Amino acid sequence: MRYGQRRVLDDIRVPALTAGSLTALIGPNAAGKSTLLRGVAGLAPASGRVLLDGEDLARSPQAERARRMAYLPQTLPGRSRLGVFEAVLSAAMAARPGRGHAAAADLHAVDAVLARLDLTALADRGIDALSGGQRQRVGLAQALVRDPAVLLLDEPTSALDLHHQYRAVDVIRRETRARGLITLLVVHDINLALRFADRVLVLHDGRLVADGKPGAVIDRELLARVYRVDGEVTGIGGRPTVLVHGVVRRPHSGAGRREADAIGNP
Ligand SMILES: Nc1ncnc2c1ncn2[C@@H]1O[C@H](COP(=O)(O)OP(=O)(O)OP(=O)(O)O)[C@@H](O)[C@H]1O
- Spatial distance between the Cα atoms of 196 and 219, rounded to a whole number of angstroms: 17
* Confidence label for 208 from pLDDT (cuts 50, 70 and 90): very high
Residue 151 is inside which H or E element, if any? strand 150-154
Comma-separated ranges of CATH 3.40.50.300 domains in the chain: 2-213
32 CA: nearest ligand 1 atom: 18
The string of pLDDT tens digits covering residues 145-186 is: 999 999 999 999 999 999 999 999 999 999 999 999 999 999
User: Rounded mean pLDDT of 226-246?
Assistant: 92
User: Rounded mean pLDDT of 190-206?
Assistant: 96
Pick 254 or 118 by higher pLDDT: 118
User: Rounded mean pLDDT of 27-34?
Assistant: 95
185 three-class SS = strand
User: Rounded mean pLDDT of 224-229?
Assistant: 95
- Establish whether residue 30 lines the binding site of ligand 1, counting it when its CB lies within 6 angstroms of any ligand atom: yes
* Confidence label for 261 from pLDDT (cuts 50, 70 and 90): low
Given a cut of 90, whether residue 139 has pLDDT beyond it is yes
Distance 35 CA to ligand 1 centre (A): 6
Say if residue 242 is exposed, middle or buried (CB neighbours under 10 Å; 0-12, 13-18, 19+).
buried
Distance 28 CA to ligand 1 centre (A): 11
The phi and psi torsions of 177 (rounded to 5 degrees) equal -70, -45
Given a cut of 50, whether residue 255 has pLDDT beyond it is no
- Spatial distance between the Cα atoms of 4 and 20, rounded to a whole number of angstroms: 36
Given a cut of 90, whether residue 47 has pLDDT beyond it is no
- Establish whether residue 32 lines the binding site of ligand 1, counting it when its CB lies within 6 angstroms of any ligand atom: yes
- Establish whether residue 3 lines the binding site of ligand 1, counting it when its CB lies within 6 angstroms of any ligand atom: yes
User: Rounded mean pLDDT of 118-134?
Assistant: 95
pLDDT of res. 245: 94
Given a cut of 50, whether residue 253 has pLDDT beyond it is no
157 three-class SS = coil
Nearest CA to ligand 1 atom 9: 35
**Residue 225 CB contacts under 8 Å (≥ 6 apart), including other chains:** 204, 251, 252
- Establish whether residue 2 lines the binding site of ligand 1, counting it when its CB lies within 6 angstroms of any ligand atom: no
Q: What is the mean pLDDT of the chain?
A: 88
- Spatial distance between the Cα atoms of 242 and 235, rounded to a whole number of angstroms: 9
pLDDT of res. 221: 95
How many residues are there in the chain?
266
Spatial CA neighbour of 3 closest among 45, 43, 48, 36: 45
- Spatial distance between the Cα atoms of 143 and 160, rounded to a whole number of angstroms: 16
CA dist 2 → 26, 38, 40, 45 (Å): 20, 12, 14, 7
Does the domain made of 2-213 have the CATH classification 3.40.50.1820? no
- Establish whether residue 5 lines the binding site of ligand 1, counting it when its CB lies within 6 angstroms of any ligand atom: no
- Spatial distance between the Cα atoms of 170 and 258, rounded to a whole number of angstroms: 37
pTM of structure: 0.91
